[in-house]
Structure 1
Amino acid sequence: MNRFTGKTVLVTGGTSGMGFATAHRLVAEGARVIVTGRTRTRLDSAVRELGPHASGIVADAADLVATDALIETVRDRHGRLDSLFANAGTGTFLPFEDITEPDFDHGVDVNLKGVFFTIQKALPLLVDGGSVVINASWTLHRGNGVLTLYSATKAAVHNLARTLAASFAPRGIRVNSVSPGYIDTPMYPVAELTAAEAEAVIGRIVAGRFGRPEEVAAAVAFLASGDASYINGQDLVIDGGLVGAVPA
């Protein structure tokens, strides 16, 4: 497939997990991909694996000065963006009563403020008819007692996708979100679960297994491509049936 030949795509948080898998998928489909990460070592390793059509820029999504520098570097190197995958995020998995103000600030800074301003600052580089995909979460669709802060930030960025779809409509820029379920990533390492924990989670998933980053990447690539030209302001849940169905 060559849906992204000649196109330039920015993937934030692209050194591991769903971000890296998406960058890999986009490169395979012909894109020039810029990935971001917080550490030079991990970034260089990811770029080496992605190959010559990928480049990396050190940036922390919560740092607006770093975001300004990121966008200026993209402007200098490429002059434009065809798509953006706002993927960088963090998890604060604590009971509501245990969340501190620093916890709150960090979660909101990365998951909401970082996404908001990355898109805002990238907007002048996005071509008319381009696309934005935001990584939300299945947790915005269901309540979970240890995911209060995380779920709230993910619900916020999904709503942001819908409002930006309306805001960017005059330029034909589509904005959608994806809501992954239990995906085996460094943020949710399945290998570290006990057998009982894994069994309990899988028991709630109709597909009967954990998801793979590559499955999220395929969905992001679809939404970012012209194949999704009439999909706008939507949330695509990639969860093996966790939210929408009950296992038999």
Structure 2
Amino acid sequence: MSSAESDVQLQDFANIFSLKGKVAVVSGGSRGLGLHAASGLLQAGCSKVFITSRKAKACEEAVAALNALPNKEPGAKAYSVPADSSKVPEIERLVKEVEKHTDHVDILFANAGATWGSEFDKTDEKNGWDRVMDLNVKGVFFTIQKFAPLLAKKSSVADPSRVIVTGSVAGIGVGSIGEVGAYSYAASKAAVLHLARNLAIELGPRHILVNGIAPGFFMSKMAAVLMEKGGGEEALGKANPNGRVGKPEDIAAAVVFLSSRASGHVNGDTIILDGGKLLGSNRLEKL
């Protein structure tokens, strides 16, 4: 075999994004970005996808919609496991519920999050700070910690398990200030992305890869008010170098990539999903 012939040989490249048979857990999965991702995980081949969020009804509705998808693998199923990811006992209960259906987890999308917007001088401790930090940072850490044994159960150098955390461009650049100041949200998203970098080094030797995503504006219930104050979806899209805001497929594809064999050498990284807005806002104009 010549050098060129050898160089073009790629291992099962046609299926490099396939998640066939994988087991996934998605926190904050009952709506928005988490539900987009859960849909992508199922359609990419996952056999089991566990959806968790605080509200049982929302979880059940999400699971019903996921199980109605026509292009899942035969026998693939979504499960509803309501839990409050800001509380460690609830996370421990979540793990036990998941263990009733599987002896391992391949993919953990730690996506549960909350925000709070108010003027700097009116930000209060309980709702404006503690609630956001407890869910966005503490909850993410302990969700990963409690699921680590299941994630390590079948992981290997050749087939590592994956953890993906949801950050935000607000945790990289400056987020919302003024009357809709989201100070705790921005701080929490900077913290969780750096937490992912630390855990990538801690868990890498256990064959668990940890990465983050940092979305910009995606239309969701949580972002709707802020997007409206920013001029609406169309105006915000025009402010992006690629001319639009995020779509559900953008989140789903990024999560599938980070969960698949395609990202087998990606660890401790952050994928920014904002169409170039963060870079464009920092460009140097000609004098």
TM-score, normalised to structure 1, is: 0.93
SS in 1 for 2:144: helix
d(CA) in 2 for partners of 1:203 and 1:215? Answer: 17
Matched, 1:80 2:104: yes
SS in 1 for 2:250: helix
SS in 1 for 2:214: strand
Matched, 1:34 2:50: yes
CA deviations 1:130-161 (Å, max 9, x no partner) are 01000000111111322221110000000010
Matched, 1:107 2:132: yes
Aligned counterpart, 2:37: 22
d(CA) in 2 for partners of 1:163 and 1:235? Answer: 12
Quote how far apart the aligned CAs of 1:189 are: 2.5
Aligned counterpart, 1:136: 167
AA aligned opposite 2:39: H
Structure 2 segments unaligned to the other structure (5+ residues): 1-14, 68-75
Quote how far apart the aligned CAs of 1:190 are: 7.4
Q: 1:212 to 1:79 in 2, by over 3 A?
A: same
CA deviations 1:9-64 (Å, max 9, x no partner) are 00001111110011011111111100102122111111111015100101011121
Q: 1:119 to 1:99 in 2, by over 3 A?
A: same
Quote how far apart the aligned CAs of 1:92 are: 1.1
Matched, 1:96 2:120: yes
Q: 1:171 to 1:193 in 2, by over 3 A?
A: same
Q: 2:223 aligns with which of 175, 188, 193?
A: 188
Aligned counterpart, 1:5: 20
Contact 1:211 1:239 in 2 (8 A): yes
Q: 1:43 to 1:198 in 2, by over 3 A?
A: closer
Quote how far apart the aligned CAs of 1:182 are: 0.3
Q: Which moved more, 1:151-160 or 1:48-57?
A: 48-57
Matched, 1:64 2:88: yes
AA aligned opposite 1:114: G
Quote how far apart the aligned CAs of 1:96 are: 2.4
AA aligned opposite 1:105: D
TM-score, normalised to structure 2, is: 0.81
Contact 1:133 1:223 in 2 (8 A): yes
AA aligned opposite 2:280: A
Quote how far apart the aligned CAs of 1:203 are: 4.4
SS in 2 for 1:24: helix
Q: 1:159 to 1:193 in 2, by over 3 A?
A: same
Quote how far apart the aligned CAs of 1:76 are: 2.2
Quote how far apart the aligned CAs of 1:212 are: 1.4
Structure 1 segments unaligned to the other structure (5+ residues): none
Aligned counterpart, 2:10: none
Contact 2:106 2:162 in 1 (8 A): yes
Contact 1:18 1:214 in 2 (8 A): no
Matched, 1:157 2:172: no
Q: 1:156 to 1:211 in 2, by over 3 A?
A: same
AA aligned opposite 2:88: L
User: Please, what is the CA RMSD of the aligned residues?
Assistant: 2.1
d(CA) in 2 for partners of 1:172 and 1:67? Answer: 22
Q: Which moved more, 1:26-35 or 1:184-193?
A: 184-193
SS in 1 for 2:201: helix
SS in 2 for 1:71: helix
Bigger-Rg structure (1/2)? 2
Contact 1:184 1:190 in 2 (8 A): no
Matched, 1:208 2:247: no
AA aligned opposite 2:51: V
Contact 1:19 1:87 in 2 (8 A): yes
d(CA) in 2 for partners of 1:123 and 1:213? Answer: 28
